Each structure stands twice: as C-alpha cells, then as structure tokens.
Structure 1
Amino acid sequence: MIRLKDKEFSDIVQYMRDEYGINLEKKKVLIECRMSKILERYGLDSFAGYLDMVHQDRSGEMAGEMVNHLTTNYTYFYREADHFERLQDAILPELLGHSVSGTLDIWCAGCSTGEECYTLGMTLEEYKRIRNVTLRTRILATDISGKVLDKARDGEYPVKELEGLPPEWRRKYCGDTSGRTFRVDEELKSCVRFQRRNLMDPMPASERFDIILCRNVMIYFDRISRNRLIKNLEDALKKGGYLLIGHAELLTIKETRLEPVYPAVYRKKKE
C-alpha cells in the first residue's frame, strides 16, 4: 500500500474542504486504504502525483472519482420512510393547493446511485393514483461523482435493497425481482434528469425548486462548509418550498432562515 505523507495528507484535506466541503481531517488511514489501488491503476507511486493529476484534469472526472472513493455511498430504497409518507400526506397537497401551473420542480441533491430519486418517483406516482389528480413534476438528481450517476442512470440494483419498499410498489416499479438484481421501470427512469454538480456551487438563478431533498450529505461537512451548503439550498428553494434533510442532520435556528415544520423537514417562508 502506498503511504500517505503528512504534507500530502494536509494538501488533500485542504483540497477536499475547499472544493467540495468534505472534512477528512481524521481520515488519513481511510485515504490510504481507499485510494492506494487507484494510484496504482494510474501508475503512480505518491499521493502528491495523484493530486497533481486531479488539478490538471479539466473534466472533473478524477475529482469525482476521488470523492466517490472517500465518501460512503450508502443508500437504499425507501430510506427514512416517514419523509415519503409526509410528502404524500401533507407536503404535496399543500404545494399543489397553491400551485398555479400544477407542476412541481424537485431537486435530489447528492443523489448518489439513484435509490432516493426513484423512491421519490414512486411516491409521486402513488400520490397521483390515490388522489386521482394530475401532477406534473420535473426531478433533477445531482451528484459530484460521474461513476455513481452512471449507476443511477442504468437503474439496476441488488434485490436486497428492496426490503423496506411496500410490496405493491415492488410489483409496479421494479420489474422482475426473482433474481439477484432488478431494474427500475423505464417510465420511472424517464422522469428523472441526472446531472453532475458540486453542491458547493450555487444553483443558477433560473433554477428554483418546490422541494429539495439533501439527506445524509451534511454529515461529511465541517461547520463552514455546512453553512455554505445550507445557504445554497435556501437560495435554491422557491418561496413556500420544502427542504428535507437526514434525521441526523437537524438544523439549528442560527444555521437557517427556514422554519422547521416536521422532523428533518424545513419550509421557506412565503413572504
């Protein structure tokens, strides 16, 4: 295994914090273990050489690869189920009651391999069926890693990830689940637009959302980066829009201008 020198470690920690808001101050061993094989694949014998290549890569793919290996893409379908229940019971009816166009813009920020945005798509379909309403949605799903976005677009997953999903949803949206893997319904996949984006970059003013899901992402951030992300998310919300975060990431009054309305759910004031 290629050893990580103190100066290299310091440089990587600084780079990841400045560019992506990720705090790796106590992750020296993790960096060595997860990145050594990547360095060997590129024919490198030092982390300094790898970081130089990352800086020179204008496409951003190497940086995305680095983020992908140094963070845990742990997710599954119907994770933190009460959020999806709250969407159906309260959030969607409230937003549609005030919508002129009947169209909702939704952003899954830090979507990882896609389980969250596809669960969201199923939730929306079920809401339309149960309520017998017309609902048009535009779902944007973003992540910094091109590799995880490729997996999300492909839509193939291990069957074990379906354990928490309602049986009826499995039958409707998950195709053949008799083997070791399954594929998400093509019509459901067509409802999601995937894009590579850095959460540290502000969303363009032309893109504003009724609902933002940014769940279990802030756990990697230090206080300064977390505050920067929160501001970006607040600015990207429409007035009256909702932000859903992980239950382990609750915001304090000092951190946000949004008002808490449900557990790990916040709303932007309408005025």
Structure 2
Amino acid sequence: MEYGRETVIRLTEYEFEEIVQYFRANYGINLQKKKVLVECRMAKELERLKVPSFAEYLRLLRRDRTGDVAAGMVNQLTTNYTYFLREPAHFSLLEQKIYPELFPRKYGPCQIWCAGCATGEECYTLAMSLCDYRESSGMAVNARILATDISEEVLKRAEKGIYPKKEKERLPVSWQEKYCVDMDAGHFCVEEYLKYHIRFLKHNLLAPLPEKQQFDVIFCRNVMIYFDKTVREQLVRRLEDCLKEGGYLFTGHAELLSREETRLEQVYPAVYRKVRTSE
C-alpha cells in the first residue's frame, strides 16, 4: 500500500461482517448493504493510522482504549447530509402553531433537542425561526437548544457555523440579511448571537443523555432511516421518555411512525405529541 494515494483496500466478508456488527451494537446504524461505501470511506482512515489491511485495523479497534480508533470510524461512516430549512413545512408549523402554544404558558426557557444535528444547519435554522418569531410576535421568547451528534468532527464544524455561500440561498432573503455574515467569496457564517442559546454535545442516541432532561420539542429528523427495526423502537421509546407532557417530536417525512411504534399522538405530518395525563 502506498500512503498518500487514493487506494481502496478490499474487505473480506468476515471483516465486513465484524464492522457491521460492531457499528450496529455500539451505534445502532445498519451498514449491512454498504460494503462498497465502507471500503471507500475507510481508505482515508487506514491511511491516517498507517495500517496496511482491514485485519490489522480491526486488531487496533479491539485493543483501543482511548476511543480514537472508534471515533475515526464514526467520522468516516456516519452520513451527515443536511441543509438549511430542510422540510420547511415543519418550520412554518412551529411559527404558526407550536410557538404560539408554547410561549404564552412558558415561565422558564423552552427546551429544544436537535438530535443528530450533523454540521449544524438544522439547529441554526431553529435558532433563526425562534428569533424571527420573537420579532414578529413581540413575545418574550426564551429557548435553549441542545444539539447532539455522534461525530466529533461534524460537531466542530457545527460550532464554527461556517458554510459554503451557496447554502445560504435556501434561506429567505430576510433571514440571509439578518442571520448570515459573508466572510469571503465562497463562505458565510451565522451570526454569533444565534449560538448563545445552543449547546453542542457529543452523544450516542443508543445511550441516555448524560444529564436527565425533558424537552418541549425534539427534532430527530432523517436519523431513524439508518437504524433497523429493533434499534428504531428503542430510540422512539427513549425520545418519548425525554418529552414533557404536551411536547412535540418531529421526525423526517420518510420516518412516519405507526400506531404500533409509538405512544405519541400524531398531530401533523411527521409530528407527534405527548398527550397530557389530564387530557
């Protein structure tokens, strides 16, 4: 193997199955049909660690006590595709229906969890929508956003809040003017004040949050599509338990939950509400 060149090392079926099982057991993500993806993406990781084969890589993974080898695998194999104002109907719903319900009765801060935040576009879109609602309604909007992801690499990018300038075009012009700052010919950054109420945290959705919290709104969109049925059921139960009574869970439109999968009540497309015990 020549390091520094694009080289794809082939996986044996046994090696591939070991990676599939490791990833499923530790992160809940199903790679069963993605052998070519694993080979291509892991080429960089084998080069970084200067190991000549997957057999040697797996030996490193088994012996690793620092978590560095596993973190590198996560950074390479997790899919972090996202963009600003994705599935915009959900943000319209927040501003027109859910924010007006939440804020008149909220004395403390509204707690929002953006689970699987990837590079941060979703949590910043949420912050923009909250600022916009505060301005348009005149309400005292106090909200805190917890943004979590399993990958340290994408969390670092999210915290910086710097994006290619073409991504800004997905936002309304008024939002571009208020919440985005051009940096150079190719990049912009989000306004610093959008970060004030966002906390970024590395977190594996298979595990409980390190601090017991309950949320008024949970965004877990386009995450469950990577999980198999058993893991998905476990995640839904955990999300239900993390919701306050009357709180809302948003999923992706390709992740609709059946009545058998959740105790929550579907109230809008891909939006579920935790029924109050008094209802």
The TM-score, its normalising length taken from structure 1, stands at 0.95
Partner of 2:4: none
Cα deviation code 1:23-58 (max 9, x no counterpart): 011111111111022102211122233234334444
Question: Relative to structure 1, is the Cα distance of residues 188 and 56 closer, same or farther in structure 2, using a 3 angstrom cutoff?
Answer: farther
State the percentage of identical aligned residues. 56
What is the CA distance between 1:270 and its match in structure 2? 1.0
Q: Give the alignment partner of residue 35 of structure 1, picking from 29, 42, 56.
A: 42
5+ unaligned residues in a row in structure 1: which ranges?
none
RCO higher in structure (CA 8 A, sep ≥6): 1
Give the RMSD, CA atoms, in angstroms.
1.5
Cα deviation code 1:54-86 (max 9, x no counterpart): 344445443233223223211111111111110
Is the counterpart of residue 224 in structure 1 residue 227 in structure 2? no
Q: Which amino acid aligns with 1:197?
A: H
Partner of 1:10: 17
Distance in 2 (alpha carbons) for counterparts of 1:197 and 1:172:
31
Q: Give the alignment partner of residue 204 of structure 2, picking from 198, 202, 224.
A: 198
Partner of 1:108: 114
Worse-matched range after superposition: 128-137 or 34-43? 34-43
Distance in 2 (alpha carbons) for counterparts of 1:21 and 1:196:
16
Is the counterpart of residue 65 in structure 1 residue 72 in structure 2? yes
Question: Relative to structure 1, is the Cα distance of residues 167 and 201 closer, same or farther in structure 2, using a 3 angstrom cutoff?
Answer: same
Q: Is the 8 A contact 2:28 2:228 kept in 1?
A: yes
Distance in 1 (alpha carbons) for counterparts of 2:112 and 2:65:
29
Distance in 2 (alpha carbons) for counterparts of 1:236 and 1:165:
30
Question: Relative to structure 1, is the Cα distance of residues 224 and 59 closer, same or farther in structure 2, using a 3 angstrom cutoff?
Answer: same
Distance in 1 (alpha carbons) for counterparts of 2:66 and 2:272:
35
Distance in 1 (alpha carbons) for counterparts of 2:26 and 2:157:
24
Question: Relative to structure 1, is the Cα distance of residues 131 and 204 closer, same or farther in structure 2, using a 3 angstrom cutoff?
Answer: same
Partner of 1:49: 56
Q: Which amino acid aligns with 1:21?
A: G
What is the CA distance between 1:18 and its match in structure 2? 0.8
Q: Which amino acid aligns with 2:266?
A: P
Q: Which amino acid aligns with 2:95?
A: Q
Q: Which amino acid aligns with 2:34?
A: K
The TM-score, its normalising length taken from structure 2, stands at 0.92
Partner of 1:259: 265
5+ unaligned residues in a row in structure 2: which ranges?
1-7
